[in-house]
A and B are shown apart, each in its own frame.
Chain A
Amino acid sequence: GQQVKQSSPSLTVQEGGILILNCDYENDMFDYFAWYKKYPDNSPTLLISVRSNVDKREDGRFTVFLNKSGKHFSLHITASQPEDTAVYLCAAANQGGSAKLIFGEGTKLTVSS
């Protein structure tokens, strides 16, 4: 089964708004959680990541929250901009598993101006 799941295939928000992207995982052994951003015909680029020893990490407009007991992590984007329009992929890894990244299905975000 899918080890990492993104429940929303798409999301549309108004420019300037706050949005939350969600990701659920199954493997208790995951200890690294990341969000990647992907434009069409481009490679996924790391947006923000967090290790399992913290439950929050902030980087500018982007914050990732980790809920280990709920096996859930999320990406919060504030002051959304049209340039944020892209596909967002969550991913998780387990150091014991040679840190191979397992991706979610992706959420296509559209920020309308």
Chain B
Amino acid sequence: GALVYQYPRRTICKSGTSMRMECQAVGFQATSVAWYRQSPQKTFELIALSTVNSAIKYEQNFTQEKFPISHPNLSFSSMTVLNAYLEDRGLYLCGARTGGGYEQYFGPGTRLTVL
């Protein structure tokens, strides 16, 4: 079956430092990976959508300079939160899908706490 792993599951960083999180797809080819953030008391906001062999598309209020993403192959993606501050805390979810399908398989998320 299709599985998505995320690492780390939980992490704490000091304000102003950076944190890298990873997403691994197993059992299918992740042609596109979407990164979401769920801030406290909010829903899952789309940060960016990365499709292999295409430019990464960032949503309004999210930039490559703040959330650089790497999607080097069909099974792996990573995202870094640069200069993390309090407003960056929350649950970061990656959703991967294959081909032209709509269904996204989600990882368990990386919970970021910023001190």
User: In the bound complex, how far is the Cα of B15 from the Cα of A8, in angstroms?
Assistant: 35
Contact (Cβ within 8 A) A101 B104 = yes
Contact (Cβ within 8 A) A99 B102 = yes
Contact (Cβ within 8 A) B102 A105 = no
Contact (Cβ within 8 A) A46 B103 = yes
**Dominant secondary structure at the B interface:** strand
User: In the bound complex, how far is the Cα of B46 from the Cα of A25, in angstroms?
Assistant: 16
| Contact among A46, A95, A98, A106 with B57 in the assembled complex (CB-CB below 8 Å) | A98
| Contact among A43, A93, A99, A105 with B43 in the assembled complex (CB-CB below 8 Å) | A105
- Number of B residues whose C-beta is below 8 Å from A? 23
A 44-88 binary contact with B (CB < 8 Å = 1; else 0) = 111001010000000000000000000000000000000000000
User: In the bound complex, how far is the Cα of B76 from the Cα of A10, in angstroms?
Assistant: 35
**Which residues on A are within 8 Å of B, measured CB to CB?**
2, 32, 34, 36, 41-46, 49, 51, 89, 93, 95, 98-106
